[in-house]
């Protein structure tokens, strides 16, 4: 288990490094094709840096605001506080800020922030109303696992990188469409270099179209991997995998859809908050799913447990 955690963290850092290198390469190729030259790489760096700094320092506030989350009062939600405090004591993590999303139709939850000392967990009112204590404990342990593994920061950074790739590609395609940059570049090139310029142009257009798609697939694949890991960590934290397994069953079978959910924040939730995507994920694995199939997650949790649902002694 702990070897898997270390391997996933190491692979995550490698992925971010490769992704950043890809953004630089994309900026260079698109800049050459559009006639901007190396300055396009500088623009890509500045563009990414602004979004990265905003995401790092304010990303959690933005996500909570978009999700319509409100600070949870201890007097109104005592069980939420009690269970979270028990888990933080058991895990050694600091107490996160707790939020409630006023949604009585869709039970769900997510964690956000940049590190354990600056983290928040948000749950819907439907989750609090429909889950028993053991199930709520499993969900909160899952979210605290994301906090402890710094998944919350990684999700923000990878989202920013994906957004940067998409926006750079969109800018290039719009520039070439509205200014005819490719035609002007071709006319100003010599005959000996026009062939090379044409190849760069074709490659740039293909990359501009496909890069956001590949970036999204990588983002979703990493999100799925980390959901499995958070489930396993939650089972270790609570010593009761059945609690989370039962919670996942209730959440996935809920017919409701969150009104405040969207594709930008979907990967943060414990189960996809968008009903048609959640239904699709339950049927089969997909490259475009932000979460692994719930049935697989439940199966893995129950395989970890003994006959009474308790985690087998190690």
| Residue 257 annotated among the catalytic residues of the structure | no
H or E segment and range at residue 111: strand 109-115
Asked if 172 and 34 touch (Cβ cutoff 8 Å), the reply is yes
Closest CA to 36 of 190, 211, 171, 192: 171
pLDDT of residue 155: 74
Asked if 142 and 230 touch (Cβ cutoff 8 Å), the reply is yes
Q: How many CB atoms lie within 10 A of CB 312?
A: 10
Q: Give 210-256 as a DSSP string.
A: HHHHHHHHHHHHHHHHHHHHHHHHHHHHHS-HHHHHHHHHHHHH---
Asked if 65 and 57 touch (Cβ cutoff 8 Å), the reply is no
Q: Are strands 118-124 and 97-101 parallel, antiparallel or unpaired?
A: parallel
pLDDT of residue 4: 55
Q: Taking the complete model, does pTM exceed 0.85, yes or no?
A: no
pLDDT tens for each residue of the chain, 314 residues long: 566 556 656 766 676 677 677 777 777 777 777 677 778 778 777 776 777 677 778 888 988 998 999 999 999 999 999 999 999 999 999 999 999 999 999 999 999 988 899 999 999 999 999 999 999 999 999 999 999 888 887 776 666 666 667 777 777 777 776 766 554 454 444 444 444 456 656 666 676 676 666 666 666 666 677 899 899 999 999 999 999 999 999 999 988 888 888 777 888 899 988 877 666 666 555 555 668 889 999 999 999 887 556 765 54
Is residue 130 exposed (0-12), middle (13-18) or buried (19+ Cβ within 10 Å)?
A: middle
pLDDT of residue 12: 60
Local structure of 189: helix, strand or coil:
coil
Asked if 204 and 172 touch (Cβ cutoff 8 Å), the reply is yes
d(CA 66, CA 62): 6
Asked if 161 and 22 touch (Cβ cutoff 8 Å), the reply is no
Q: How many CB atoms lie within 10 A of CB 165?
A: 27
Indicate which residue of 135, 143, 227, 281 is catalytic.
Answer: 143
pLDDT of residue 7: 63
Q: How many CB atoms lie within 10 A of CB 32?
A: 20
Q: What are all long-range contacts of 131-134, with beta carbons under 8 Å and residues at least 24 apart?
A: 131/107, 131/247, 131/250, 133/79, 133/83, 134/238, 134/240, 134/242, 134/243, 134/246
CA 275 to chain centre: 18
pLDDT of residue 50: 77
């Amino acid at each position: 288990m702990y070897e898997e955690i270390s391997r996933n963290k190491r692979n995550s850092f490698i992925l971010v490094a490769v992704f950043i290198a890809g953004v630089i390469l994309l900026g260079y190729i698109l800049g050459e094709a559009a006639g901007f030259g190396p300055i396009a790489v500088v623009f890509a760096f500045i563009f990414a840096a602004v979004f990265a700094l905003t995401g790092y320092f304010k990303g959690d506030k933005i996500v909570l605001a978009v999700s319509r989350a409100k600070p949870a009062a201890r007097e109104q939600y005592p069980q939420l506080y009690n269970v979270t405090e028990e888990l933080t004591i058991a895990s050694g993590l600091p107490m996160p800020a707790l939020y409630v999303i006023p949604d009585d139709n869709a039970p769900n939850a997510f964690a956000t922030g940049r590190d354990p000392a600056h983290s928040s967990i948000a749950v819907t009112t439907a989750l609090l109303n429909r889950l028993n204590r053991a199930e709520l404990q499993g969900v909160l342990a899952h979210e605290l696992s994301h906090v402890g593994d710094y998944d919350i920061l990684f999700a923000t950074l990878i989202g920013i990188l994906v957004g940067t790739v998409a926006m750079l590609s969109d800018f290039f395609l719009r520039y070439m469409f509205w200014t005819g940059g490719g035609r002007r570049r071709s006319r100003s090139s010599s005959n000996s270099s026009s062939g090379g310029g044409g190849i760069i142009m074709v490659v740039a257009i293909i990359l501009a179209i496909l890069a956001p798609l590949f970036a999204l697939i990588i983002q979703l694949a990493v999100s799925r991997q980390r959901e499995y890991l958070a489930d396993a960590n939650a089972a270790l934290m609570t010593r009761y995998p059945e609690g989370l397994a039962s919670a996942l069953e209730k959440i996935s079978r809920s017919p409701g859809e969150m009104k405040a959910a969207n594709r930008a924040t979907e990967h943060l939730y414990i189960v996809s908050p968008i009903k048609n995507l959640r239904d699709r994920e339950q049927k089969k694995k997909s490259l475009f799913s932000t979460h692994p199939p719930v049935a697989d997650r439940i199966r893995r949790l129950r395989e970890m447990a003994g006959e009474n649902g308790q985690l087998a002694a190690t």
